[in-house]
Structure 1
Amino acid sequence: MIIAERASSRSFQQKLIASDLVVVGGGLAGACCAITAAREGIKVTLVQDRPVLGGNASSEVRLWVLGATSHMGNNNRWAREGGVIDEILVENMYRNPEGNAVIFDTVLLDKVTSEPNITLLLNTAVMEVQKSTDDTISGVKAFCSQNSVEYMLIAPLFCDASGDGVLGFLSGAAFRMGAESREELGEKFAPTKDYGELLGHSLYFYSKDTGKPVNFVAPSYALEDITSIPRYRKFNTKEFGCNLWWIEYGGRLDTVHETETIKWELWRVVYGVWNHIKNSGQFPEARNLTLEWVGTIPGKRESRRFEGDYMLRQQDIVEQREHKDAVAFGGWSIDLHPADGVFSEKPGCNQWHGKGIYQIPYRSYYSRNIKNLFFAGRIISVSHVAFGSARVMGTSAYGGQAVGMAAVLCKRLNVLPAALGDDKHMKTLQQMLMRSGQHIPGLTLADPEDLMRTATVSASSVASVNELPEEGLLKTLDPAVAQMLPVSAGSLPVFTVHAQTTTATSLEVELRICSKTGSYTPDVVLEQKTVALTPGRNCVKIAFDTVLASTQYVFITFRKNPAVQLHFTSRRVTGVLSVFNLVNEAVSNYGKQEPPEDIGIDAFEFWCPQRRPEGQNLAIKMSEPLKGFEAENIRNGIARPTDKPNAWVADLNDKKPTLTLTWQTPKIIRNIVLKFDTDFDHPMESVLMGHPENVMPFCVRRYVLRDDEGRVVYEKTDNHQTMNVIRLATPMQTRQLTLEVEHPSANVPAAVFEVLCYEN
């Protein structure tokens, strides 16, 4: 029994926690930041003011995680973010292909709580900042509403990943809110006052069929006249969850301090909509439906943006500008919304895509005036226009892990964030990131500690891709299709396809390439051919005169003709892909992007893959086999397809595919890193959308590692992850390391992107 004497006042229980890094905000950016830093050995305190992690991706909001892949609706091939966010999405795919938001909560919590170097504080809000000097944070005070504990968190380094930038705001960090003018940064897509300078919040609902009639009595605060919403006719009984992203409001208000006001308006809309669906008589199919869930906190898009030493802008995205201090990439469209949201007469979004992914510089991830403060998530140093692309969660998480690694390097070097801009330090940071699985466009891993640099690499076989075989799978040439093939410099092989038609017609064939390295927009037509077809089966041989100056992807393109059928195949090979001139209205892809003249955006066609189980490759023969699948690729420093597959791919007829690494003198090996193909082209939306498989079809499931005496040193029988980090209980000394793998299936040969070996 506790008997409390009467007191004039009391204080909350207080706890002091010291760490190397305090991360404020437990969305994907903060979580990935914390995990990255903790795995490198530094102590992290992760402070989250909600009961679960994930922010907008959590079960509280239920927005899917997306980044540069953009629902497979743009030309950014193999663009899913790597490292920790890839690990999370791949794990969620394995455990949760149905897209259950509650299960995604558990995946995130599992990843964070599995790290012994992370102290996680849920339901804990930062409320005060202490500073040792005007430009240096020494600690933050935070309060947990669930245990009535006041925390004092001290550290030499801090990261604000809170979404609204509470830590940056309280510390006095320079920030902006609203949109820059066209003149300030030369951004032609800068919005007008009429369009609005802030994106609003959204709130979703889920419905469920109970199998019996359900009545609904609207609450008093429900919007009475649903026709006051210009797009009210778009509401139906089939769309729910974040498919209703356009239920948006608040861009004319203060999106920080008036969030509760915005939430109530969104509740009015949601319950008004449901009242309309249930009681208007226009939706008889809603008779048995009930509201299963309505969001209680809105998903925020925009509030403060903090100033770093560089502000990313529209031109960086559209022109794919390169930065010496690149640590991450983006690729979502420049996606701005009218400030009036669901009450606007304008379309719910205004999306314009770039031709490829773009680099994000390190200088955008720390404060220009608070020396020990990093930023991660949607609050980084970007213009309002660039924010329209960089704000999405996949990109935010990717930046978060860059910050986590930067904090590790700052601790090792005993320097503050801005000091890493030094060329030598930046190269170290970039190498650390790539070693941990983070792809940085245009850069390659060259780790001096990697024992693979001195090994001789050989393989039991190498894929000889001279045919993607026919198997009776015919598809109408509507839409147009292109087969992406990695081709070496020099003359092209002769390509053969078989076309079938019931009438005399023609086949329009083009050879296309991309105008810019790092892009998969086939905007350069090198040759065009017209082939006459007769009724029946036609053998079409295509010989191009072009001589390529460099290794790259070519697009063997067949223009739309509904009178023609082409043969396709179930054979799938790492780095080989079919793309289609598709329409994907969800990301403003109507087959071709045709922007107004003066907004600084390129016009081009979209050529996108289809989701499995569709998206088969074109059945095609080549007079000479494709190159580019050699064993040497496993140490070229790139662990995904770029201008070539960058993987060792075994011959499908090889019954026991094996990689052998040999050294002239014995090596002591403790750590081995293997990187497999989990299809970086698949966006892996985390919630709502279902997926056809829980393990990617290219992924090696079973493998064995042996030493020079043939002893098994490690084996895995159920792999589904991209990156396997193997730390041997006892270091081994060997002259040879052998990796035996199994083909993922009868139609997909085994592939390995990268092997790294370390003494420690």
Structure 2
Amino acid sequence: MIVSESIASRSLRQDVLSADLVIVGGGLSGACCAITAAREGLKVVLVQDRPVLGGNASSEVRLWVLGATSHMGNNNRWSREGGVIDEILVENMYRNPEGNAVIFDTVLLDKVMSEPNITLLLNTVVMEVTKAGDAIASVRGFCSQNSTEYVLKAPLFCDASGDGVVGFLAGAAFRMGAETREEFNEQFAPEKEYGELLGHSLYFYSKDVGKPVSFVPPAYALQDITQIPRYRRFNAKEYGCNLWWVEYGGRLDTVHDTETIKWELWRVIYGVWNYIKNSGKFPEARNLTLEWVGTIPGKRESRRFEGDYILTQQDIVEQRPQEDAVAFGGWSIDLHPADGVFSERPGCNQWHAKGIYDIPYRSYYSRNVKNLFLAGRIISVSHVAFGSSRVMGTSAYGGQAVGMAAVLCKQYGVLPAELPAKGLVPALQQRLMARGQHLPHRRLHDAKNLVNEATLQASSTLSLQAFPEGELRPLDPAVAQMLPLPAGPMPGVSFHAYAEQPTTLEVELRVSSKAGNYTPDVTLAAVRKELAVGKNCVDLAFDVSLPATAYAFVVFRKNPLVKVPFSSQRVTGVLSVFNHINEAVSNYGKQTPPDDIGIDAFEFWCPQRRPGGQNVALRLSQPLTCFGAENIRNGIARPVDAPNAWVADSKDANPALTLTWDAPRTFRTVVLKFDTDFDHPMETVLMGHPEQVMPFCVRQYTLRDEHGAVLYQREGNYQTQNVIRFREPVTTRSLTLTVAHPSAEVPSAVFEILCYED
């Protein structure tokens, strides 16, 4: 028993924690930053003001994680973010293909708590910053659950808090609202500066309980549903983040007015539900009840802090190369009307670029607080560019870059802004790529990788000349078969076409105007073929020569009178795309922006989700021979202008790849990188997915030494990157990786092998 006499005052219990890096904000950007830094040996304190991690992706808000893949609704092929965020998304796909937000909470908490170098403080709000000159010395926070005050000290801090609480308290330069068109010469920016912002959103889930359910609205529910122009389009079956348009607050202070905004969103949600349940216009809602309503709003925009570089519209649309690129983006420039749900205008205004774009390291630290990194949606970007960079997949990717930058800062004893001046950005880029972070137009050159010294020998290599014929499908919409082709003459193409009546089939050969893009905006040749009723054997000869290794698009123009066979065979780095519509991301088959906003017009050619999206069953006059063993050390671990993978022949019963050295080598760590379909966006909540494991992923493999002794064996793999660390160093003259084909319809593939002494 504790008995305390009355005294004048008391102090809270105080814990003082020291670390190499303190990260404030436990959304995806903060979590990925923490995991990245911790795995490299830094002692990290991760502070989150909520009871779970994930921010807008958590069960408290329930927004799906998206980035450059944009629901597979743009032309950014194989653009899912890599590294830790990829590991989390793939893990969630395996554990949680149904998209349960509560399960995603456990996935993220599991990843963070598995790192012994991370101290996680949940329910802890940072409210004070102490500085030493122009650097942060400590931050002070309070945990409401254990009534403890924390003083956190470190040489480096990262603000990933969404509203930028640390940067704000530390006096870091920031912006709110839109810049004028004149400031950065952004044509999509307004002519006059304004303070309007993207608003907050709240979601709800409904549930069918199998019997009629009545609903009595609370007194604060919105009574006049006509205040919401969208009310005519209500759908009783929509729930969760499909209700992203339930947005409000763009004309308020999205930091300090958040509670006011929340109450207005509650008013809207219960008013909407009252209309659905009690207007009599939705008989399908008779048995529905409200299962869950959000209690904290998902925030889109507040402060943006200034670094040494401010990313702008031109950087995105023109895909400007950045020498210090450490991440990429690819979501559309997605700005919303300030009046949100009460606006007569569409809920969003998305304009896509033709491909992904670089985000420079200089946008990830404060220009005037010397030891403060920035991560998440608060990084150094203009309001227009923020419309793209703000999404969670992109934010998490930047968080990983910050985590690795902090590692180099400690290693070399420098501050964030000094990494470029000291010539350390290339080292940062290489460290990131070695850990799975894809950086456009860059390759991994790792002198420590023993694979570089080895002779490679594969038991077989795929030579792809034809896809076997399967189901017939009409050319509606238009379809294009993407083929990874070398420089030189275009091979002939043949296929079967089935016509319901005499008609004309139009086929084009296209490429992208920019290396590494997948927008087929250049037509090299066009052929028209007259078809008779029934089966037609079609041979196409394109009299063109490709100037460089690239993906070519054999485009079959829309013709509902024609069917062509598709194939159930799938191959790493080979894909079909369709000129279909995806309204969720403002994809209407073609982007046709106004002339004066600085956005390109182009067609969308996007994959279909499985089980759709099969390859066109065509035959080439010359086989594709781009799947050789040398790909595993070319420094690129995903398809770009070629598959960049060793792919075994599907008839090889025991595919194996052997690395042989001229003398015994000693190593302790082997890293294997497999194909988990970087085209799949892997939305984390709400949406279900047809599979737990990507069909291209090698599930079973074995590593053997020169004597055939098994060094490591794995069954049931589903992850992109497998890091194998042996308890004792291994010495051998050769290393053989034997892999099993994922299925009879998918040959095994390996993107990269790394082998290190330590």
TM-score by length of 2: 0.99
Which segments of 5 or more consecutive residues in structure 1 lack a partner in the other structure?
Answer: none
State the match for 1:347 in structure 2: 346
State the match for 2:249 in structure 1: 250
Tell me whether 1:200 sits opposite 2:222 in the alignment.
no
Q: Please report how far the alpha carbon of residue 743 of structure 1 lies from its aligned counterpart in structure 2 after TM superposition.
A: 0.3
Partner deviation per Cα, 1:242-292 (whole Å, 9 max, x = no partner): 000000000000000000000000000000001111111111111111000
Aligned partners of 1:12 and 1:224: how far apart in 2? 46
Aligned partners of 1:264 and 1:336: how far apart in 2? 23
**Kept after mapping to 2: 8 A contact 1:196/1:339:** no
**Alignment-mate amino acid for residue 522 of structure 2:** V
Q: Please report how far the alpha carbon of residue 636 of structure 1 lies from its aligned counterpart in structure 2 after TM superposition.
A: 0.2
State the match for 2:525 in structure 1: 527
**Alignment-mate amino acid for residue 89 of structure 2:** L
Q: Please report how far the alpha carbon of residue 191 of structure 1 lies from its aligned counterpart in structure 2 after TM superposition.
A: 3.6
Aligned partners of 2:143 and 2:83: how far apart in 1? 31
Aligned partners of 1:197 and 1:665: how far apart in 2? 66
Tell me whether 1:441 sits opposite 2:474 in the alignment.
no
Q: Please report how far the alpha carbon of residue 627 of structure 1 lies from its aligned counterpart in structure 2 after TM superposition.
A: 1.8
Matches within 5 A, 1:473-488: 473-488=471-486
**Alignment-mate amino acid for residue 594 of structure 1:** T
State the match for 2:98 in structure 1: 98
TM-score by length of 1: 0.99
Partner deviation per Cα, 1:689-719 (whole Å, 9 max, x = no partner): 0000000000000000001110000010010
State the match for 1:717 in structure 2: 715
**Alignment-mate amino acid for residue 588 of structure 1:** S
Partner deviation per Cα, 1:662-696 (whole Å, 9 max, x = no partner): 10011001000000000000000000000000000
**Kept after mapping to 2: 8 A contact 1:196/1:340:** no
**Kept after mapping to 2: 8 A contact 1:196/1:338:** no
State the match for 2:419 in structure 1: 420
Aligned partners of 1:201 and 1:705: how far apart in 2? 51
Stretch of structure 1 that moved more, 71-80 or 228-237: 228-237
State the match for 1:264 in structure 2: 263
Partner deviation per Cα, 1:195-250 (whole Å, 9 max, x = no partner): 97310000000000011111111011100111111111122211000000000000
Cα 1:193–1:690 change in 2 (3 A) is farther
**Kept after mapping to 2: 8 A contact 1:675/1:753:** yes
Matches within 5 A, 1:70-81: 70-81=70-81
Aligned partners of 2:446 and 2:579: how far apart in 1? 40
State the match for 1:656 in structure 2: 654
Aligned partners of 1:634 and 1:581: how far apart in 2? 33
Aligned partners of 1:492 and 1:290: how far apart in 2? 59
Aligned partners of 1:599 and 1:197: how far apart in 2? 19
1:417 aligned counterpart, secondary structure: coil
**Kept after mapping to 1: 8 A contact 2:182/2:191:** no
Percent identity between the two aligned chains: 74
Aligned partners of 2:166 and 2:77: how far apart in 1? 36
1:424 aligned counterpart, secondary structure: coil
Cα 1:150–1:142 change in 2 (3 A) is same
State the match for 2:630 in structure 1: 632
**Alignment-mate amino acid for residue 2 of structure 1:** I
Q: Please report how far the alpha carbon of residue 548 of structure 1 lies from its aligned counterpart in structure 2 after TM superposition.
A: 1.1
Partner deviation per Cα, 1:624-683 (whole Å, 9 max, x = no partner): 110210000000000000000000000000000000001001100100000000000000
Aligned partners of 1:671 and 1:9: how far apart in 2? 57
Matches within 5 A, 1:255-654: 255-422=254-421, 424-471=423-470, 473-654=471-652
Q: Please report how far the alpha carbon of residue 423 of structure 1 lies from its aligned counterpart in structure 2 after TM superposition.
A: 6.6
**Kept after mapping to 1: 8 A contact 2:705/2:734:** yes
1:597 aligned counterpart, secondary structure: coil
State the match for 1:20 in structure 2: 20
Aligned partners of 1:562 and 1:85: how far apart in 2? 41
Aligned partners of 2:316 and 2:596: how far apart in 1? 16
**Aligned structure 1 segments of 4 or more residues deviating by more than 4 angstroms:** 192-196
**Alignment-mate amino acid for residue 374 of structure 2:** F
Aligned partners of 1:254 and 1:197: how far apart in 2? 9
Aligned partners of 1:186 and 1:195: how far apart in 2? 16
Aligned partners of 1:194 and 1:340: how far apart in 2? 17
Q: Please report how far the alpha carbon of residue 168 of structure 1 lies from its aligned counterpart in structure 2 after TM superposition.
A: 0.2
**Alignment-mate amino acid for residue 519 of structure 2:** T
1:215 aligned counterpart, secondary structure: coil
**Kept after mapping to 2: 8 A contact 1:701/1:720:** yes
1:614 aligned counterpart, secondary structure: coil
State the match for 1:61 in structure 2: 61
**Kept after mapping to 1: 8 A contact 2:178/2:193:** no
**Alignment-mate amino acid for residue 30 of structure 1:** G
Aligned partners of 2:613 and 2:553: how far apart in 1? 15
Pick aligned residue for 2:730 from 732, 740, 748: 732
Aligned partners of 1:740 and 1:315: how far apart in 2? 47
Matches within 5 A, 1:682-721: 682-721=680-719
2:735 aligned counterpart, secondary structure: strand
Aligned partners of 2:214 and 2:192: how far apart in 1? 43
Stretch of structure 1 that moved more, 276-285 or 677-686: 276-285
**Kept after mapping to 1: 8 A contact 2:511/2:551:** yes
Aligned partners of 1:306 and 1:740: how far apart in 2? 49
Q: Please report how far the alpha carbon of residue 422 of structure 1 lies from its aligned counterpart in structure 2 after TM superposition.
A: 3.2
Q: Please report how far the alpha carbon of residue 424 of structure 1 lies from its aligned counterpart in structure 2 after TM superposition.
A: 3.0
Aligned partners of 1:432 and 1:234: how far apart in 2? 49
Aligned partners of 1:350 and 1:550: how far apart in 2? 36
Aligned partners of 1:169 and 1:397: how far apart in 2? 21
Tell me whether 1:758 sits opposite 2:756 in the alignment.
yes
Aligned partners of 1:692 and 1:483: how far apart in 2? 23
State the match for 1:31 in structure 2: 31
Aligned partners of 2:579 and 2:593: how far apart in 1? 18
Stretch of structure 1 that moved more, 193-202 or 294-303: 193-202
Which segments of 5 or more consecutive residues in structure 2 lack a partner in the other structure?
Answer: none
**Alignment-mate amino acid for residue 230 of structure 1:** P
**Kept after mapping to 1: 8 A contact 2:177/2:194:** no
Aligned partners of 2:448 and 2:463: how far apart in 1? 33
Aligned partners of 1:459 and 1:248: how far apart in 2? 55
**Alignment-mate amino acid for residue 578 of structure 2:** F
Partner deviation per Cα, 1:695-751 (whole Å, 9 max, x = no partner): 000000000000111000001001000000000011110010000000000000000
Q: Please report how far the alpha carbon of residue 111 of structure 1 lies from its aligned counterpart in structure 2 after TM superposition.
A: 0.1
Partner deviation per Cα, 1:382-423 (whole Å, 9 max, x = no partner): 000000000000000000000000000000001000111137
**Kept after mapping to 2: 8 A contact 1:674/1:723:** yes
Aligned partners of 2:625 and 2:142: how far apart in 1? 60
| Alignment length (residue pairs) | 758
State the match for 2:85 in structure 1: 85
**Kept after mapping to 2: 8 A contact 1:191/1:197:** no
